[in-house]
Amino acid sequence: MHVMVIGAYGSAGSAVAEGLVEHVGETVDRLTLVDDGEPGGGLCILNGCMPSKEVLSAAAHRFQMRADDRLVGEPPAIDLQQVVDRKNEHINSFAAHRRKSIHGMAEREGVEFIHATARFVDDRIIEVDGQQYEPDYIVVATGSSPNIPDLPGIEEVEYRTSKDVLDATELPDSGVVMGFGYIGIELVPYLAEAGVDLTVIEHDDRPIDEADPEFGDSLMELYGEDFGIDILTNTYEQRLESTDEGVRLYVDEDGENRVIGAEELFLFTGRRPTLGPLGINNTAIEPKQGWVDDTMRSVDDDRVFIVGDVNQKEPILHVAKEQGYLAADNILADDAGEALAEYHNIHHHVIFAGASVFPFARVGHTPESAQKAGYETASATRSAADDGVFKVKDVAHGLARLTVDRQTGTVLGYQGLHAHADSMAKTMQVIIELGLDVRSLPDRAYHPTLPEILDGLFRETAAAVA
């Protein structure tokens, strides 16, 4: 059996390679790993979650110094050159480690790495560096790229994407932001702490569509009052034009026309699958809603597996890796004539909001999604402002909510927009994945006391169970 992995440097592709390499010489006769990345290392390492955490940490330090009225004097400015230099030092090291791993696999007999662009020329026929291959199985793990909206005038203006912000050693005095999903929510406070006066376009009443409305409202309050960010809700972009001063954006704000001028445009309008160079149109595979099933196999070609951001299922590093390992197992199973496993994970998202000081986390259901799934629910909500530990740590903003099955006590979901919600999400993931009864969770004092916000939620929902 010959398997080719396209996008081997990325998180999903490298996971597939790891899952198959030990079988080379046995069930796998030949494993070909392909990637044209330069320097190579995958989106998360080079332009995603790792460098974004680096720059957010600088914003977090400045914000906490500025926001704490026990500290006097002017807060320091963010040295963008220092931020970028340190970020590059770290990500170059991480990327080199990933490349070393892939190249190390290629030293084995039966494994080959090709540093070039792979392109379909027909169904399951791949051209790489002028040579054609016809593997038994192909894995596509080409990731995603910034989504540039089709808006009149966008070709005439200059803009910065998330990658540009992560590499920026100079920033303008003012900016207008299109896109207030997880990318915008994370990067906007960084820009604000770096001194950019921002106007943000939000299409709905509030951000964070996956959360109950109170969480989006809490974020709006935080960004407006603590970061000085102007967020225009129920606002839609109409057209753009370039000006001598920078850029002008014409919008419809709640039914009224408005013009926003700024020095620069920041595009945080999501990401789309990286398929352009792949020549997927030369195959029977049609990228559309539902084009990849839960086994990570293309619905149009059962010998092509599609994993990670490119399959449009869930753009999260750890999901991509789990999909990659599953795809490797399913290729081996399919070759052996065995049934394929499906990938199902609980909803688990973290957004490093508020310069990562006040992250948002959702694990499992909200009350609404649980009710739609047929559960009779009980919920409890606690405010960070009522929690003594958050008060003394000067991070008393936000809230948390727990949802359980009222009949059985099974913990169904957690939402948190508060300090350390990202860390608490792991605990909640274990509880929800194990299907634990909230009444069985220990109600006991322990140190440290930071997670007491969870204890209160446990007690209140336990009391509400039938």
User: Residue 375: what pLDDT?
Assistant: 97
* CATH 3.30.390.30 corresponds to the domain 358-464: yes
What is the C-alpha separation between 50 and 307, in angstroms, rounded? 20
Give the closest residue to 413 by CA, choosing from 433, 393, 396.
433
State the average pLDDT for the chain.
96
**Structural fold of domain 2-146+272-335:** FAD/NAD(P)-binding domain (3.50.50)
The pTM is what?
Answer: 0.94
User: Residue 445: what pLDDT?
Assistant: 67
> Domain coordinates of the chain in residue numbers?
2-146+272-335, 154-269, 358-464
* CATH 3.50.50.60 corresponds to the domain 154-269: yes
Give the closest residue to 196 by CA, choosing from 248, 270, 266, 260.
266
Question: Which two tokens mark 10?
Answer: 């990325």
The interaxial angle of helices 11-21 and 317-335, nearest 10 deg, is: 40
- Strand order across the beta sheet in which 197-201 lies: 159-160, 264-267, 174-178, 197-201, 230-232
Residue 163: is its pLDDT beyond 80?
A: yes
For residue 448, name the pLDDT band (cuts at 50, 70, 90): confident
User: Residue 450: what pLDDT?
Assistant: 78
Q: Which long-range contacts (CB under 8 A, 24 or more apart) does 243-248 make?
A: 246/172, 246/174, 247/157, 247/158, 247/159, 247/176
Domains 2-146+272-335 and 154-269 are alike in CATH topology: yes
Residue 466: is its pLDDT beyond 90?
A: no
Give the closest residue to 331 by CA, choosing from 144, 135, 147, 198.
135
Mind listing the pLDDT tens digit for each residue in 4-49? 999 999 999 999 999 999 999 999 999 999 999 998 998 889 999 8
Residue 355: is its pLDDT beyond 90?
A: yes
- Average pLDDT (285-297) is 96
Q: Exposure string (b/e) for 225-234, b if CB count within 10 Å is 16 or more?
A: ebbebebbbe
For residue 374, name the pLDDT band (cuts at 50, 70, 90): very high
Give the closest residue to 356 by CA, choosing from 56, 51, 44.
56
Q: Which residues pair with 132 in a beta bridge?
A: 127
Question: Which two tokens mark 14?
Answer: 């490298």
Mind listing the pLDDT tens digit for each residue in 116-150? 999 999 999 999 999 999 999 999 999 999 999 99
Neighbours of 236 (CB within 10 A): 12
- Angle at alpha carbon of residue 32, lines to 29 and 35, rounded to 5°: 165
